[in-house]
Amino acid sequence: MESSRTGNPENSPEAPQSIIHKTKVVIPSAPLPDPLAQNIEAIIALQAKAEKDLPRTQRIVEAVTAFFGHPIFLYCILIGVTVWIVSNVLPPGFGIPQFDPPPFESLDHVLGLGSLLISTGVLITQNRQEKLMEQRMQLSLQLNLLSEQKIAKLIALVEELRRDLPNVKDRHDPEAEIMKQPADPHVVMEVLEKTLSEELVQLQQQDVSDS
């Protein structure tokens, strides 16, 4: 009887724990809709094309610049500066030659050159990121204008359908008449600039009156 109890691991109190550790929790996920999946694939394709067209020198600069943003780079700088200073502060009796005695002029030159290289690498990386962001903004602007034209066309078609249906009472909707006309981006920009300039003038006048 004892052998049968010990031989069956499922009857032991440790069996449920082992079963729990061996099982994996699977969270069910619903598949993405086709339009959303297509949009994600289009975004990935654009990003992949931008990375593929990147020159090799740009890749090297961005890889080095990315290393500058890691904490390990800070630790390397602290360790290097500490070793540099300690090796030049120790007395000559330790057998270590003082290649840069205080006030550490060579260290200042090395740090200045390193700061220049780091700043240049960061500017190069930011310049490419800004170009990519500008391209995405242009794409978003074009898509928004296209969507606005489509919406205006749909409103016009709905208004035309409402007038043609015999069971629907025909009435004049001035708001729909305005919305079915696509907006002119040049006019919108002019209105925005005019409004902003007027608000700036009012703020300046308030500042002068308050002073």
Quote the pLDDT of residue 32. 59
User: Is 95 a domain residue?
Assistant: yes
pLDDT tens across 83-133, in order? Answer: 999 888 887 767 777 788 888 899 999 999 999 999 999 999 899 888 888
User: Is 191 a domain residue?
Assistant: no
Question: The domain containing residue 103 runs over which residues?
Answer: 57-151
Contact between 162 and 192 (Cβ < 8 Å)? no
User: Is 36 a domain residue?
Assistant: no
Number of domains observed in the structure of the chain: 1
Per-residue pLDDT, averaged over 49-69, amounts to 83
**pLDDT greater than 80 at residue 5:** no
**pLDDT greater than 70 at residue 156:** yes
User: Is 156 a domain residue?
Assistant: no
User: Is 68 a domain residue?
Assistant: yes
Distance CA 113, CA 106 (A): 11
Distance CA 165, CA 88 (A): 93
User: Is 211 a domain residue?
Assistant: no
Two structure tokens written together for 62: 């961005």
User: Is 42 a domain residue?
Assistant: no
| Spatial CA neighbour of 135 closest among 56, 53, 35 | 53
Per-residue pLDDT, averaged over 145-160, amounts to 86
Alpha helices in the chain (DSSP H): 2-7, 15-22, 34-52, 56-68, 71-89, 105-164, 174-179, 185-210
Upper half-sphere CA count for residue 126 (Cβ side, 13 Å): 6
Confidence of residue 176 (pLDDT cuts 50, 70, 90): confident
Quote the pLDDT of residue 93. 66
Between 75 and 186, whose confidence is greater? 75
User: Is 195 a domain residue?
Assistant: no
pTM for the structure as a whole: 0.54
Quote the pLDDT of residue 21. 45
